[in-house]
Amino acid sequence: LIIPKLIWGPFTLNNHRTGTRDIIVQDIDNIIYLISAGGKIKWSKKLESKIIGKISQLDAYKNNKFQMVFNTNSQLHIIDILGNEIDGFPIKFNYKAINPVSVLDYDNNKDYRLILAGNDQIIHNYNIEGSNVNGWRNPRLSKNIDVPIVHFAINGLDYILSIQNNGD
């Protein structure tokens, strides 16, 4: 197993087929590699740039099979276990993403929201079909954020929170 110089990872992912953990890394040429628990490269895929943050997993089809979710500064990806993008992805941004995508599931019903901030000072919210979420008002930022956006609920009310780089 020889992979060029790594710039990101390693991260582990649940493999719904084998019940084991796979490993994902990215090399200096922006190629990602999915490596089996046994150390074999299952597939590789060239990306447009470096992954920002970590990879999350979700069940886009609600069938107990996992896909990986991540973003670069120019695209949002959802890739299945075979290395293929799901329908509607990747989403190509008309801004530069400045933080890792957050995968939110408010009611634990696999109705996912994919939220990230751009250098346009807006928090963007996409659904699993790759479209902007209806009713989302694109909150504006006064400063950049580089940490993931988080969700929590208190007394039945949903809150989405992030801290801007200036501490606000």
d(C-alpha 48, C-alpha 143), whole Å = 26
Euclidean distance between CA atoms 51 and 30, whole angstroms:
8
Q: Average pLDDT, stretch 142-156?
A: 90
Average pLDDT rounded to a whole number, residues 86-96: 96
| pTM value surpassing 0.85 | yes
Q: What value does the mean pLDDT take over residues 68-87? A: 97
pLDDT band at 165 (very low <50, low <70, confident <90, very high): confident
Query: In terms of pLDDT, which residue wins out, 35 or 1?
Result: 35
Predicted local distance difference test score (pLDDT) of residue 68: 97
Give, as one character, the DSSP assignment of residue 83.
S
Using CA atoms, how far apart are residues 149 and 158, in angstroms rounded to an integer?
13
